[in-house]
């Protein structure tokens, strides 16, 4: 199934953030000098947790930084969403963000972006035309919209296409949340075309690789499994739960189940609220101890009812327990993780679950749905608990364990912090660079072959 597997589990601690000095490569193999990354619908400069910005933004930023630190320059092409943006922005040494004009700056939903792909591709080609031949060694596209631009660029430039799906329409449609709209047929067709066209596909987990084969008939051996990483310098236990609660103005003795992420049916924050309502109905004394932060903004289909979660909290009679907070930067997000007793992630679909990995790196256990990559990220019964399905009663049952045993969160949190050490971006970048190298070498072999 998967020809390349990341070596994340073999590298521990902060050293996982550092580039490995001695890479095992065959003679003649080399890393690409410069990669063109495409992220059409969301910019790496956007605040995660707002609009369509989320884990993919973090993924692209951290991967690009680490690739550049290891010797591969990265240029990220994204759609300009305001006229005040500079055409190019240096995100980090060796990482350049290029803003491409494609359609009106504001007011376009993700569903309307396919109509702008021609304009975006034209802008990409204008940039490319200003360089010497061979300027980009490889294209790495993220999400299906970018995949179509990447496909054309790959053919035009004569370089390999590496594609990361991040989410898949067929997988999402098979596990829709109540009230969520199915992904359109155009996306399914588009994803199928990209899977056939890509030289390599990158999957977050072995399960995602299997889904690519099962749902999209991805050719065996073309999918590489590379676990995403965590910035272990930013997301760490630091000075502990008490200090984080003091900084955020939270009570020291509270039981705090945290939701962090985009507020949309797919992420199922309503499941947490319904679970908390069950808990206080059955044990009214818990009301004085519970604080339930929801950190994030409406996104996707959640934009149709931006105040829907607040109204649900009021309807359930727990509005006094729930703290709604807007999306925050990564430094403050780490404090929210540290302050929480437990992170709750009841998603209907997650290709990996970076939020769960980040929380664990901060020493916070996780209660999560047993979907997608979450069983890889969360060690069930050790760094947290996995829940089958999305019944609020099951989540209430898991959360009562933390309410009943004040020592449970610190015990599981210690294991969680250790477990998260295996997810370093440095190792993820090395594994990704290996995928790049293999794709380049294979394309060269095909060109040399008389039957290629």
340 annotated as belonging to a binding site for a ligand: yes
163 annotated as belonging to a binding site for a ligand: no
103 annotated as belonging to a binding site for a ligand: no
CA dist., res. 309 & res. 39, Å (int): 29
57 annotated as belonging to a binding site for a ligand: yes
19 annotated as belonging to a binding site for a ligand: no
59 annotated as belonging to a binding site for a ligand: no
372 annotated as belonging to a binding site for a ligand: no
Quote the strand ranges of 27-66, DSSP E.
Answer: 34-39
245 annotated as belonging to a binding site for a ligand: no
Q: How far is CA 429 from the centre of its chain?
A: 15
143 annotated as belonging to a binding site for a ligand: yes
328 annotated as belonging to a binding site for a ligand: yes
97 annotated as belonging to a binding site for a ligand: no
52 annotated as belonging to a binding site for a ligand: yes
364 annotated as belonging to a binding site for a ligand: yes
262 annotated as belonging to a binding site for a ligand: yes
∠ CA 137-142-147, nearest 5°, is 75
Kindly report the length of the chain: 452
47 annotated as belonging to a binding site for a ligand: yes
305 annotated as belonging to a binding site for a ligand: no
Residue in the block written with tokens 């290996």:
434
255 annotated as belonging to a binding site for a ligand: no
Say which residues have a Cβ less than 8 Å from residue 199's Cβ, sequence separation at least 6: 154, 160, 161, 162, 222, 439, 442, 443
Which residues is 35 bridged to in the sheet? 74, 138
Residue 436 near residue 162, CB atoms below 8 Å:
yes
Two tokens, residue 412: 């599981």
CA dist., res. 402 & res. 293, Å (int): 16
168 annotated as belonging to a binding site for a ligand: no
90 annotated as belonging to a binding site for a ligand: no
338 annotated as belonging to a binding site for a ligand: yes
- Sort strands 322-325 and 34-39 into parallel, antiparallel or unpaired: unpaired
* Positions at the binding site for 1D-myo-inositol 3-phosphate: 41, 52-57, 110, 143, 167, 187
Annotated binding site for Mg(2+): 337-338, 340, 364
For the annotated binding site, the residues are 41, 47-48, 52-57, 110, 143, 167, 187, 262, 267, 328, 337-338, 340, 350, 358, 364
Query: Annotated binding residues for UDP-N-acetyl-alpha-D-glucosamine, as ranges?
Result: 47-48, 55, 262, 267, 328, 350, 358
């Amino acid at each position: 199934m998967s020809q390349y597997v990341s070596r994340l589990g073999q590298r521990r601690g902060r050293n996982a953030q550092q580039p490995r000095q001695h890479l095992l490569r065959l003679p003649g193999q080399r890393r690409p000098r410069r990669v063109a990354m495409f992220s059409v619908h969301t910019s790496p400069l956007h605040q995660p947790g707002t609009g369509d910005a989320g884990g993919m933004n973090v993924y692209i930023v951290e991967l690009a930084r680490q690739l550049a630190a290891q010797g591969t320059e990265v240029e990220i092409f994204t759609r300009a969403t305001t006229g005040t943006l500079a055409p190019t922005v240096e995100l980090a040494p060796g990482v350049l963000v290029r803003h491409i004009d494609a359609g009106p700056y504001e007011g376009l939903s993700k569903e309307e972006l396919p109509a702008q792909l021609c304009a975006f591709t034209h802008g990409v080609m204008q940039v490319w035309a200003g360089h010497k031949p061979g300027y980009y060694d490889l294209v790495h596209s993220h999400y299906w919209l970018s995949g179509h631009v990447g496909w054309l660029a790959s053919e035009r430039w004569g370089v390999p296409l590496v594609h990361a799906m991040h989410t898949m329409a067929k997988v999402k449609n098979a596990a829709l949340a109540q009230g969520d709209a199915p992904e359109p047929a155009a996306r399914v067709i588009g994803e199928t075309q990209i899977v056939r066209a890509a030289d390599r596909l990158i999957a977050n987990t072995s399960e995602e690789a299997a889904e690519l084969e099962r749902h999209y008939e991805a050719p065996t051996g073309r999918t590489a499994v590379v676990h995403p990483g965590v910035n272990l310098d930013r997301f760490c236990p630091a000075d502990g739960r008490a200090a984080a609660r003091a900084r955020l103005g939270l009570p020291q003795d509270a039981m705090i189940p945290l939701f962090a992420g985009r507020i949309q049916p797919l992420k199922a924050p309503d499941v947490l609220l319904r679970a908390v309502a069950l808990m206080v109905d059955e044990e009214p004394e818990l009301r004085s101890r519970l604080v339930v932060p929801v950190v994030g903004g409406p996104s996707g289909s959640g934009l149709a009812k931006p105040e829907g979660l607040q109204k649900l909290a009021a309807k359930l009679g727990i509005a006094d327990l729930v703290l709604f907070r807007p999306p925050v930067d990564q430094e403050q997000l780490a404090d929210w993780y540290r302050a929480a007793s437990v992170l709750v992630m009841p998603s209907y679909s997650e290709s990996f679950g970076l939020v769960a990995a980040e929380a664990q790196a901060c020493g916070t256990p996780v209660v999560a749905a047993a979907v997608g990559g979450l069983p890889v990220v969360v060690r069930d019964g050790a760094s947290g608990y996995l829940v089958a399905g999305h019944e609020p009663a099951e989540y209430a049952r898991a959360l009562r364990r933390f309410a009943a045993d004040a020592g449970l969160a610190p015990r599981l949190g210690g294991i969680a912090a250790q477990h998260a050490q295996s997810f370093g971006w440095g190792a993820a970048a090395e594994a990704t660079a290996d995928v790049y190298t293999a794709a380049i070498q294979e394309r060269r072999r095909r060109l040399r072959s008389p039957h290629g």
